[in-house]
Amino acid sequence: MANVLLVEDEQDVRQLLKRMLSLEGFTVFDAGSCKAAFNIVENENIDLVLCDVKLPDGSGVDLIRQIKAAYQYIEIILITAYGNIPDSVQAIKNGAFDYIIKANDNERILPLLYRALENVKLQKRVAQLEKAAAGRYANFDAIIGHSTLIEEAKTLANLAAPTNAPVLLLGETGTGKEVFAQAIHTASKRNTKTFLGLNCGAFSKELLESELFGHKAGAFTSASKDKKGLIEEAHEGTLFLDEIGEMPPDLQVKFLRVLETGTFIKVGDTKQIKVNVRIIAATNRNLQQEIQEGKFREDLFYRLNLVTIHLPPLRKRQQDIPLLADFFLKKLTQDAYQHVKGMTPAFADRLQQNDWRGNIRELRNVIERSLLVCSGSQLNVDHLPVELQYTSLKSKSISAFDLASVERLHIQRVLQYTKGNKAQAAKLLNIGIATLYRKIEEYGIGALE
């Protein structure tokens, strides 16, 4: 339901309107001054503002201009006093949707509000289409990497893109599943239509059902109006369902029907709706195992995995790490950190040695964190988060129980503590500096630059 902001300094008028709008099912915010109103607009996702003219700290007519300049999709309706023509005219010039006359136009308020909200929705839809048409979604050229595994994934995704077949993207978190989904949409004939994404793991069962399929008014207590679900919103476009493995089993049945017949029924409705939507699903779970455990339906799996694309974890495409690091460095230094021009080979080398459980997302974060502490023109090992400054024990396949590995780990920790200062580390370890050097070499402990 829409978020409406009420700007009115007269308490009783404000309470009356607030009650009326709340009963309609809107989420109502209220403010008694221009300043408080603008603050709410900045912090909440407001769709519509109902605004009085005379406010203690300024004029509602000016507030309209201020809001419209910053948030073009918000519609504003001015509440004026009877006979206040100049303010009404100026309000429209400032971008108001319309005006109503206080106390005289009560029966006009709701129809006007619904019209304005329809406008908000339309404008947002147009913006979304323009965004799609302008190619703002990722495309295959934007997918960085030349390793065999990523090239294979790109080739398969490119082949699947122009078809209407569902695609299943499998990969760990941060491997680029959403980027691939967007690129497939961009390379398909649907690219001027909507691309919508939903994370199935982010909702309770009831909410997910209503998000996906929509509901009829009265379907449950808070359903005061009919609502379209994303499946319907994405008609003729692409719907990307992330974390599909998290979809509860009874929704899986309902969703399977969409894939099989292109039809579904809204929550609380009996009427069947037909849609033409391309489904791209993704998961980091092992769906075959989930099937064996009875958590994922086998029939849905076979419908979804017509085209299955495996997105490799970053540690399996080490050669792409410097490319990606360079890409993020260039991107992040466009607007900030402009003094940083590159990275040292040792920095790139250390990135390649990490195992990147968070994959590309983690790599990007590490580059950003390193930029934050870099005052020179090159990123070097010192700028890395401390846990990345030393080569990990994991990569050297030494048992965690043998004495040598315990000693190695201890030396690493002390060096981290002294920020690479070897003289200080030797002192703390109670050994000579020459011994420390020997052990660093023996254990292959990466030194700070």
Q: Measured between alpha carbons, how far is 29 from 39 in angstroms, rounded to an integer?
A: 11
| Closest C-alpha to 418, from 445, 386, 443 | 386
Question: Strand 214-215 vs strand 227-228: parallel, antiparallel, or unpaired?
Answer: antiparallel
Q: Which is nearer to ligand ATP, 225 or 361 (CB)?
A: 361
Nearest-approach distance from CB 327 to ligand ATP, in angstroms: 6
Q: CB of 177: closest distance to ligand ATP in angstroms?
A: 3
Smallest distance, Å, CB 7 to ligand ATP? 38
Q: In this complex, which beta carbon is closest to ligand ATP, that of residue 59 or of residue 199?
A: 199
Q: Which two tokens stand for residue 243?
A: 């974390």
- DSSP secondary structure string for all residues of 65-87: HHHHHH-TT-EEEEEE-TT-HHH
Q: Which is nearer to ligand ATP, 235 or 361 (CB)?
A: 361
User: What backbone torsions phi and psi does residue 242 show, to the nearest 5 degrees?
Assistant: -85, 155
Q: For residues 360 and 426, which CB has a smaller minimum distance to ligand ATP in the complex?
A: 360
The beta strands (E) that lie in 203-254 are given as: 214-215, 227-228, 238-242
List of residues 6+ apart from 263 with CB closer than 8 A: 257, 272, 273, 274, 275
| Signed CA dihedral, 322, 325, 331, 332: sign only | negative
- Of all residues in this chain, which one has the CB nearest to ligand ATP in the complex? 176
Contact 347, 383 (CB under 8 A): yes
Q: How far apart are CA 215 and CA 213, in angstroms?
A: 7
Cβ closest to ligand ATP, residue 241 vs residue 360: 360
> Closest distance between ligand ATP and the C-beta of residue 239, in Å?
15
Closest to ligand ATP by CB, 32 vs 174, is 174
The distance of closest approach from Cβ of residue 243 to ligand ATP in the complex, given in angstroms and rounded to an integer, is 7
Give me the residues that bind ligand ATP (CB under 6 A), please: 143-145, 171, 173-179, 242, 284, 360-361, 364
Element holding 185 (H helix, E strand):
helix 177-186
Closer by beta carbon to ligand ATP, 244 or else 445: 244
- Residue closer to ligand ATP by CB (options 198, 277) is 198
Q: Tell the smallest beta-carbon distance from residue 176 to ligand ATP (Å).
A: 3
Phi, psi values for residue 295, rounded to 5°: -95, -20
Q: Find the shortest distance in angstroms from Cβ 363 to ligand ATP.
A: 8
**Shortest Å, Cβ 248 to ligand ATP:** 19
- Decide whether 264 or 327 has the Cβ nearer to ligand ATP: 327
Strands (E), 354-437: 378-379
**Closest to ligand ATP by CB, 29 or 180:** 180
Closest CB 307 distance from ligand ATP, rounded Å: 17
Bridge partners (DSSP) listed for residue 340: none
Q: Work out how close the CB of 150 gets to ligand ATP at its nearest, in angstroms, rounded to a whole number.
A: 7
What are the structure tokens assigned to 301, written together? 């799996």
3-state secondary structure of 334: coil
Residue 123 near residue 87 (C-beta atoms within 8 A): no
> Which of 389, 392, 396, 391 is closest to 449 using CA atoms?
389
CA gap 308, 167 in Å, rounded: 6
